[in-house]
């Protein structure tokens, strides 16, 4: 009897280093690849920008799989119903997938695994999407790390599994159902001019980063106007490239060119933050809805719909914050330091619940995943493990003058300030009238006054944290 295997793809939209795909192909017989736009209890619906990215990534993957004789079927609905229905229709005798780590997702997967096994199918899951499995790294007391530095040290001492190769071509099962009707929001179409999507593009981005950008990374990653970062995050989000592929490519370079090892260590320590966040996701109940430090559940957040809307639209009157919010709206991406600045303004100066900001980023960022988005928001808000100390409140004027000294980032994304001189571009409301008129800016007409007084709101945030 011919083997018939289903590969359930989720956050692993790649051909190489895909153990579930390799396991299916390795059995011989026929292979059907499946993606489900999932409507399952416990699985968070994805945001608009990620939905757009996902669509294009699936198109790219379908083409690559098709060239290898594997059909990609895209369905929508409850995962268990879809898989069991498809298994019945196709006569599949095995189902494979790579693991995911959110508690709700794991529950869904465990239930499906048990149910399929009860029906007599072979079911196997694999580690593929983090550097090390969360349950295999622990402190001396056997607990999960809650501080990054010792986590990073422990991770470096570990062997990160080598990426697998590429499965051989197989003949496809004829799909019984074609693409589910599933579209990204209309606004997301504008993101297309900023990204190349898919596994090949992911590897090109990595190669370009390692070959051309590595030396600029440690200083440049803090400069929002520079192009010093890898921009791999949305590729990682859907697993177009795996973290361990990046790890080993960088390690190979560090070995071959020891003079670059320092830069590579810095880069990989950032990649390891992704694992740190995924491990917290695994060990915790729900990091996108619950503060990891329990006392933050008592925080008296302000209800301020107008302030939230001004922040979302990039109309806070604080130029580098507005630049970041508009960059994200236009491109689906925001430079890392600006993510911190914008999040700090919302959670500290405006004292608005981090969940409101997390949800907005969730919808706007092409790289939004629960682990990193919620983990980073909680880090800024102060509610996370190993979080930023409560007194670390970014001043968007100071930060703008430090990290965007010539205002080129602001000029790009806040064009109404393009003619402001460097000296005043980060604090236009304080500029003398003749400077403003020469730049063609009237505060309140062309660009808003700051939505909040930075000094007073800083004191308010410190008081609110102390009250906890």
**Greatest pairwise CA separation for the chain in angstroms:** 85
Residue in 64, 76, 84, 336 annotated catalytic: 336
Minimum distance, C-beta of residue 401 to DNA, in the bound complex (Å): 9
Is 97 catalytic? The answer is no
Residue in 78, 161, 273, 395 annotated catalytic: 273
SS3 282: helix
Count residues near DNA (CB under 7 A): 37
Q: What are the phi and psi torsion angles at 113 (to 5°)?
A: -60, -45
| 74 contributes a contact to DNA by CB under 7 A | no
CB under 7 A: which stretch of 55-63, 239-247, 280-288, 452-460 binds DNA? Answer: 452-460
SS3 97: strand
Is the CB of residue 154 less than 8 Å from the CB of residue 272?
no
Is 270 catalytic? The answer is yes
> d(Cα 445, Cα 315) in Å, to the nearest integer?
12
Is 329 catalytic? The answer is no
CB under 7 A: which stretch of 93-101, 111-119, 238-246, 453-461 binds DNA? Answer: 453-461
Residue in 152, 354, 379, 424 annotated catalytic: 354
Run of H or E including 402: helix 396-403
Torsion 114-116-118-122 (CA) sign = negative
Q: What are the phi and psi torsion angles at 220 (to 5°)?
A: -75, -20
CB under 7 A: which stretch of 39-47, 201-209, 381-389, 412-420 binds DNA? Answer: 381-389
Say which residue the tokens 């699985």 belong to.
Answer: 43
Minimum distance, C-beta of residue 190 to DNA, in the bound complex (Å): 28
| 455 contributes a contact to DNA by CB under 7 A | yes
Q: What are the distances in angstroms from CA 183 to CA 15, 17, 196, 368? A: 24, 28, 19, 18
Is 247 catalytic? The answer is no
SS (H, E, C) 139-193: CCCCCCCCCHHHHHHHHHCCCCCCCCCCCCCCEECCCCCCCCCCCCCHHHHHHHH
| 402 contributes a contact to DNA by CB under 7 A | yes
| 217 contributes a contact to DNA by CB under 7 A | no
| 376 contributes a contact to DNA by CB under 7 A | yes
Which member of 80, 107, 115, 146 binds DNA (CB under 7 A)?
A: 146
| 139 contributes a contact to DNA by CB under 7 A | yes
| 207 contributes a contact to DNA by CB under 7 A | no
Say which residue the tokens 């919808």 belong to.
Answer: 363
SS (H, E, C) 187-225: HHHHHHHHCCCCHHHHHHHHHHHHHHHHHHHHHHCCCCC
> d(Cα 129, Cα 18) in Å, to the nearest integer?
9
Which member of 86, 388, 414, 428 binds DNA (CB under 7 A)?
A: 388
Which member of 135, 176, 313, 391 binds DNA (CB under 7 A)?
A: 391
Is the CB of residue 305 less than 8 Å from the CB of residue 311?
no
Residue in 301, 330, 395, 416 annotated catalytic: 301
CB under 7 A: which stretch of 38-46, 49-57, 308-316, 395-403 binds DNA? Answer: 395-403
Residue in 97, 377, 379, 413 annotated catalytic: 377
| 36 contributes a contact to DNA by CB under 7 A | no
Minimum distance, C-beta of residue 461 to DNA, in the bound complex (Å): 11
- 396-403 helix and 336-344 helix, angle to the nearest 10 degrees: 170
| 148 contributes a contact to DNA by CB under 7 A | yes
Comparison of 154 and 435: residue with beta carbon closer to DNA: 154
Which member of 67, 147, 449, 467 binds DNA (CB under 7 A)?
A: 147
Quote the DSSP letter at residue 244: H
Positions annotated as catalytic residues are 270, 273, 301, 336, 354, 377
Residues of the shown chain interacting with DNA in the complex, contacts defined by CB under 7 A: 139-141, 143-150, 153-154, 222, 270, 273, 336-337, 340, 376, 379, 386, 388-395, 398-399, 402, 454-455, 458, 466
């Amino acid at each position: 009897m011919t083997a018939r295997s289903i590969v359930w793809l989720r956050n692993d939209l790649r051909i190489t280093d895909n153990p579930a795909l390799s396991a299916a192909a390795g059995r011989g017989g026929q292979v059907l690849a499946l993606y489900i736009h999932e409507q399952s209890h416990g699985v968070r619906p994805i945001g608009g920008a990620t939905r757009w990215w996902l669509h294009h990534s699936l198109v790219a993957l379908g083409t690559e799989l098709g060239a290898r004789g594997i059909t990609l079927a895209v369905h929508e609905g409850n995962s268990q119903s879809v898989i069991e229905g498809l298994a019945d229709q196709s006569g599949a005798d095995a189902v494979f997938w790579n693991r995911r780590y959110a508690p709700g997702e794991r529950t869904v997967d465990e239930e499906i695994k048990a149910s399929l096994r009860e029906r007599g199918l072979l079911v196997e899951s694999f580690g593929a999407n983090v550097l090390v499995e969360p349950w295999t790294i622990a402190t001396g007391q056997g607990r999960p790390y809650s501080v990054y530095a010792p986590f990073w040290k422990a991770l470096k001492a570990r062997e990160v599994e080598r990426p697998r190769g590429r499965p051989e071509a197989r003949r496809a099962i004829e799909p019984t159902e074609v693409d589910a009707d599933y579209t990204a929001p209309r606004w997301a179409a504008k993101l297309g001019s900023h990204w190349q999507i898919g596994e090949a593009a992911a590897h090109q981005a990595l190669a370009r980063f390692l070959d051309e950008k590595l030396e600029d990374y440690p200083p440049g990653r803090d400069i929002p106007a520079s192009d010093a970062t890898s921009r791999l995050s949305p590729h990682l989000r859907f697993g177009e490239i795996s973290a361990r592929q990046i790890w080993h490519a960088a390690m190979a370079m560090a070995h071959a060119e020891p003079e670059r090892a320092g830069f590579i260590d810095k880069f990989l320590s950032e990649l390891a933050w992704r694992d740190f966040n995924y491990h917290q996701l695994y060990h915790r109940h729900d990091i996108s809805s619950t503060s990891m430090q329990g006392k933050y559940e008592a925080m008296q957040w302000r209800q301020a719909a107008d302030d939230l809307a001004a922040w979302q639209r990039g109309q806070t009157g604080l130029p580098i914050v507005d630049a970041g919010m508009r960059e994200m709206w236009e491109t689906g991406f925001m430079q890392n330091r600006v993510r911190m600045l914008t999040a700090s303004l919302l959670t500290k100066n405006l004292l608005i619940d981090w969940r409101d900001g997390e949800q907005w980023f969730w919808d706007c960022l092409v790289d939004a995943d629960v682990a990193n988005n919620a983990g980073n928001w909680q880090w800024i808000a102060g509610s996370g493990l190993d979080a930023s100390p409560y007194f670390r409140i970014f001043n968007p004027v100071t930060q703008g003058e430090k990290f965007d000294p010539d205002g080129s980032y602001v000029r790009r994304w806040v064009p109404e300030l393009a003619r402001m001189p460097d000296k005043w571009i980060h604090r236009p409301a304080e500029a003398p009238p003749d400077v403003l008129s020469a730049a063609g800016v009237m505060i309140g007409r062309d660009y808003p006054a700051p939505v909040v007084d930075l000094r007073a709101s800083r004191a308010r945030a410190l008081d609110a944290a102390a009250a906890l």
